[in-house]
Amino acid sequence: MKTIHEINRLPETECEQALQNCCGSTRWVRQMLIARPYESAEFIFVLAENIWCGLGEDDFLEAFSHHPKIGDRESLKKKFASTAHWAGNEQSGVNAATEAVIEALAKGNEAYENKFGFIFIVCATGKSAEEMLAILQARLPNEREDELLIAAAEQAKITALRLQKWITE
């Protein structure tokens, strides 16, 4: 577990990389860095959420682009190597999925991205592949504006979980 003192003493580039692994929004990372030194771990979580809530669509889309598609094992290994240890665990529910569920996720991901213009974002921790597929299918009828806000809220959950992992490593 890292103490707040250790986090505050990290070289800026190391802190920046750790924050980038938590959330792929450049503006979010910059604002988190500017707020150093942090008062406490609790302060980091409140700050993270407050900054996220003050950002907009471009920031959300940038953060979303830093995630592999749910069930896409190849992109998890290749493109997202820096966060694969977290994202892989977050998506571990996919590991036991049947081929039919994996195929349905792939088709659902494609339909979702075609409709909304960004990948399906869900806080996958603790969810089975079947649960994630049901969530994806339930969200497909949404309007884009509503779905963007839902995905942004899911990103906030993912960021909080990753911050927790970073602080407790």
pLDDT of residue 92: 61
> Whole-prediction pTM value?
0.88
Exactly one of 5, 66, 67, 85 is catalytic; name it: 67
> What is the pLDDT tens value at each position of the chain, 169 positions in all?
788 999 999 999 999 999 999 999 999 999 999 999 999 999 999 999 999 999 999 999 999 999 988 877 665 445 545 555 555 455 566 777 788 998 999 999 999 999 999 999 999 999 999 999 999 999 999 999 999 999 999 999 999 999 999 998 6
Specify whether 67 is catalytic: yes
Burial 126-160 (b: 16+ CB within 10 A, else e): ebbbbebbebbeebeebeeeebbeebbebbbebbb
- Angle at which helix 144-168 crosses helix 57-64, to 10 degrees, equals 60
Q: List the chain domain ranges.
A: 68-147
CATH superfamily of 68-147: Oxo-4-hydroxy-4-carboxy-5-ureidoimidazoline decarboxylase (1.10.3330.10)
The helix-helix angle for 129-139 and 99-116 (nearest 10°) equals 30
pLDDT of residue 80: 47
Are 163 and 28 spatial neighbours (Cβ–Cβ below 8 Å)? no
